[in-house]
């Protein structure tokens, strides 16, 4: 099964890690897990703190609903943040629905938190940004992969300032070889070819092409069955689907580790003079630690 749920709990096919609640031998996804993406963000934040010449212990806060989606990376990310020297503060709970979050933002402000990971998405994120700007919270916000894209930033307008978020692909207008194929695929539902796709769309193309090539391998090696497609996911090392060079990160799946991607592209979004500006600030490569598998 190829999914777009990036929970770290779905990356252990054998259940060998004590953290794994249930093995997931048939689950695959393209991209870093929520846990690994958050680890990448706090690794970036630790460097950012040093690069800004800050001293002392930076403070980190998880912000999101008390719900399995935003909670998926909470414990794993907090543990790594502590390992990197952060003072991990109590989580701040906000609804998945848009709302007035000024009370929560005042709590963040009084805590003096320096870096906040947003576990929600969409309208809830915009409400948080607006509320925190209203009460003057000085915090570096970082989001999960669904919490940052051009459409969110356009909706947020002037409130979007130095917003950090992860991606697993370049952007629509980036000049990389594989974007030619992505644009051809896009024309299947937009004949004009003018519609600008968000990075989630491009990530979906990568997912589909990894699955396609695994199915092609299965067809030539015993037939297209679930078991053979699964075997096809393990054949290639540093695997980039044909035609998508420069778009999809090189993947490595094994029968003991379904963390196909251990890299996190980190971008910064700003809304300036009526336009969204996005720049890449880092690419973090995470270690494939045994204690992080399935967690």
Please report the domains of the chain, with CATH numbers, ordered by start residue: 8-168+260-292 (3.40.50.2300), 172-248 (no CATH)
Kind and range of the H or E run holding 39: helix 34-51
Kindly report the pTM of this predicted structure: 0.95
* Cβ atoms of residues 26 and 230 within 8 Å: yes
* Cβ atoms of residues 258 and 13 within 8 Å: yes
The closest of 101, 133, 120 to 271, measured between CA atoms, is 133
Q: What is the pLDDT along the chain (295 residues), one digit of tens a residue?
A: 888 889 999 999 999 888 888 899 999 999 999 999 999 999 999 999 999 999 999 999 999 999 999 999 999 999 999 999 999 999 999 999 999 999 999 999 999 999 999 999 999 999 999 999 999 999 999 999 999 999 999 999 999 999 999 999 999 999 999 999 999 999 999 999 999 999 999 999 999 999 999 999 999 999 999 999 999 999 999 999 999 999 999 999 999 999 999 999 999 999 999 999 999 999 999 999 999 999 9
The closest of 288, 46, 287, 4 to 145, measured between CA atoms, is 4
Rounded Cα distance, 252 and 271, in Å: 36
Q: What is the pLDDT of residue 13?
A: 96
Q: Alpha helices of 159-244 — where are they, by DSSP H?
A: 179-186, 199-220, 226-232
Within its chain, how far is the Cα of 172 from the centroid?
A: 17
Kind and range of the H or E run holding 285: strand 275-285
Rounded Cα distance, 29 and 73, in Å: 16
Q: What is the pLDDT of residue 18?
A: 84
Rounded Cα distance, 149 and 6, in Å: 17
CA distances to 8, 84, 295 from 19, in Å: 10, 21, 6
* Cβ atoms of residues 64 and 118 within 8 Å: yes
Q: What is the pLDDT of residue 281?
A: 97
Q: What is the pLDDT of residue 17?
A: 85
Six-digit token pair at 76? 């794993």
Six-digit token pair at 91? 């989580």
Rounded Cα distance, 160 and 31, in Å: 25
* Cβ atoms of residues 213 and 232 within 8 Å: yes
């Amino acid at each position: 099964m190829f999914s777009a749920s990036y929970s770290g709990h779905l990356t252990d096919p054998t259940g060998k890690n004590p953290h794994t609640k249930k093995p997931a031998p048939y689950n695959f996804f393209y991209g870093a897990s929520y846990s690994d993406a958050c680890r990448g963000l706090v690794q970036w934040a630790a460097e950012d703190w040093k690069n800004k010449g800050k001293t002392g212990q930076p403070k980190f806060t998880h912000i999101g609903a008390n719900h399995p989606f935003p909670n998926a990376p909470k414990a794993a990310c907090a543990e790594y943040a502590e390992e990197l020297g952060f003072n991990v503060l109590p989580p701040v709970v906000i609804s998945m629905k848009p709302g007035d979050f000024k009370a929560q933002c005042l709590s963040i402000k009084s805590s003096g938190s320096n870096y906040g990971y947003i576990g929600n998405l969409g309208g809830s994120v915009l409400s948080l940004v607006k509320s925190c700007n209203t009460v003057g919270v000085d915090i570096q916000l970082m989001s999960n992969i669904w919490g940052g894209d051009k459409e969110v930033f356009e909706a947020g307008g002037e409130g979007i300032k130095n917003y950090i978020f992860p991606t697993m692909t370049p952007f629509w207008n980036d000049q990389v070889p594989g974007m030619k194929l992505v644009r051809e695929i896009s024309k299947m539902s937009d004949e004009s070819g003018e519609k600008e796709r968000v990075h989630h769309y491009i990530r979906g193309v990568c997912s589909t092409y990894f699955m396609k090539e695994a199915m092609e391998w299965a067809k030539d090696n015993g037939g297209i069955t679930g078991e053979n497609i699964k075997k096809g996911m393990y054949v290639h090392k540093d695997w980039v689907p044909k035609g998508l060079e420069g778009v999809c990160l090189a993947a490595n799946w094994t029968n003991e580790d379904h963390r196909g991607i251990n890299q996190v592209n980190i971008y910064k979004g700003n809304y300036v003079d009526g336009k969204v500006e996005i720049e890449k600030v880092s690419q973090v490569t995470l270690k494939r630690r045994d204690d992080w598998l399935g967690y």
